Amino acid sequence: MARLLDAPMTPGRLEWIGLRPARRAPVLAMEAAMLAPGQGLEGDRWKGAATGGRQVTLIAAEHLAAVGGFLGGGPLPPEALRRNLVISGVNLLALKGRRFRLGAALLECSGECHPCSRMEEILGPGGYNAVRGHGGITARVIEGGAIRLGDALTRDD
């Protein structure tokens, strides 16, 4: 099993960057941003501990379509799930417990990003259960740096 977990994976691609400037404020789509160690995405409302695991949140673009499908529609807009980064072309769970590069930054997957009760409010009845298992991952910023749309996400082996 260890051999399979260490097998190569195709790079992902950064498709969307979202900043949440304040609690319940609309998410702002950005073309570029800065990731700061112990802080996450500069300009985002996250104010946890510098050693905390939820400095930045990532979701697979493919999961936006899955969650929308579970709700009987098409792909959801990225801001609906309030994650910071949307990545295409990679199963983010393959990064569990690993470090990865995105743009000039080095991040470390710290866990799964489970849905919150707001999903019912934002997505309607069934929203919470639609997101379960499809909410993406959380990560710590190990080395800061600039990120921009189109940047590759690669595992740091």
Q: What pLDDT does 157 receive?
A: 75
Domains of the chain, each with CATH number or no CATH: 27-155 (2.40.33.20)
Q: Which amino acid is at 67?
A: V
Q: What pLDDT does 110 receive?
A: 95
Q: What pLDDT does 47 receive?
A: 64
Span 7-58, pLDDT tens digits: 778 899 999 999 998 888 899 999 999 999 989 999 998 766 677 778 999 9
pTM of this structure: 0.93
Cα distances (angstroms) measured from residue 81 to each of 61, 74, 143: 11, 14, 26
